[in-house]
Amino acid sequence: MARKFFVGGNWKMNGDFASVDGIVAFLNQSADNSNVDVVVAPPAPYLAYAKANLKAGVLVAAQNCYKTAKGAFTGEISPAMIKDLGLEWVILGHSERRHVFGESDALIAEKTVHALESGIKVIFCIGEKLEEREAGHTKDVNFRQLQAIVDKGVSWENIVIAYEPVWAIGTGKTASPEQAQEVHEWIRAFLKEKVSPAVADATRIIYGGSVTADNAAELGKKPDIDGFLVGGASLKPDFVKIINARS
C-alpha cells in the first residue's frame, strides 16, 4: 500500500519567540503539499504559540510526555495536557531521552501506551549507538527497543517509527541511503513477524540523523524510507526542501 510521506521537525531545546516567528514564517509561506504529513515539535513553552500561528497544514507535536494523566511529577507534561492544547502528536523514545536522561525501554513503552490510550499519536524513536553498530548489534538493539512496545500489544495505526542511528544525530554523519534502507527493511520484517503483515505494510518508518536538504532526496527514494525526523535542519528555511524531497 502507499504510505503517506511524513516529515517531522524536532526543534529540541532551541528557540525563543523571535526565532519561532521566523520558523513559522517560512513554513506558512511554503507551498502546501498534500502528499506529506508535516509535524514540528517546539519546546514545551512554545507549543501553544506555534499551534496558534502555524497554518493548518503543519501540525505541532510535543517532544516528550509522562505515563500518567496528572500528579506529583515535577517538570513533566501529560498526554492530557497535550490534547488540551489541541495537539495530536508526541515524540517518545528519542535517543537523548534514552541516553542523556536514562529512560529505559520499559518506561518508554509505558509512556507510549498511555499516550496512545489518551488519543495522542506517537513518533516512536529507536536507534543504535556507534559502538553497537560496530559490534554488529544494530539489529539486536533496534529490535529490543521495538519489542518493548510489541509486548504491550499497542495499536499501530497511530504510531510512526523513527529510526535514528545515534551516531548520526547532530554529528554531520549520515547513514548512507543503503545503510538506512537496510535497517528500515529489517524493521518492516520485524513488524511482519512479530505483529502482522498488514501492520508491517502500513506503518511508516522514517529516518533521522543529520538529514539535510542535500541528502533528503536520495534517502527518500528508498522503498522503506517513508519520511524523516529532522533535527537542526528543521530550524532553517531549507527544511521546506526536505518536506518536498519526494516532489
- In this structure, which amino acid lies at residue 104? S
Mean pLDDT of the chain: 96
User: Can you tell me the distance from the alpha carbon of 180 to that of 174, in angstroms, rounded to the nearest whole number?
Assistant: 9
User: Would you give the distance in Å from CA 178 to the centre of its chain?
Assistant: 20
Distance (Å, whole) CA 183 – CA 162: 11
> Would you state the pLDDT for residue 122?
98
Tell me the pairing of strands 36-41 and 159-163.
Answer: unpaired
pLDDT for 169 = 84
For residue 193, the surrounding DSSP H or E stretch is: helix 177-194
**In the CATH scheme, what is the code of domain 13-28+36-244?**
3.20.20.70
Q: What does the pLDDT average to over 58-83?
A: 98
Q: What is the pLDDT of residue 96?
A: 96
CB-based contact 222:177 (threshold 8 Å): yes
164 among known catalytic residues:
yes
Q: Which whole number is the average pLDDT over 13-22?
A: 98
C-alpha torsion angle, residues 37, 43, 44, 47 (rounded to 10)? -40
pLDDT tens, position by position, 31-47: 999 999 999 999 999 99
Catalytic residue among 76, 94, 117, 137: 94
CB 118 within 8 A of CB 69: yes
Q: End-to-end CA distance of the chain, in Å?
A: 19
Residue 217: the pLDDT is 96
pLDDT tops 70 at residue 1: no
Q: What tens digit of pLDDT does each residue of 108-122 get?
A: 999 999 999 999 999
| Domain range annotation of the chain | 13-28+36-244
Instruction: At 204, list the grid cell.
Output: 511508516
Our answer to whether residue 94 is catalytic in this structure is: yes
What pLDDT is stored for residue 171 in this prediction?
Answer: 82
Using an 8 Å Cβ cutoff, are 95 and 130 in contact? no
- Cα–Cα dist 240/27, whole Å: 7
Given this model, what pLDDT does residue 9 score? Answer: 98
Q: Which residue in 96, 128, 132, 164 is the catalytic one?
A: 164
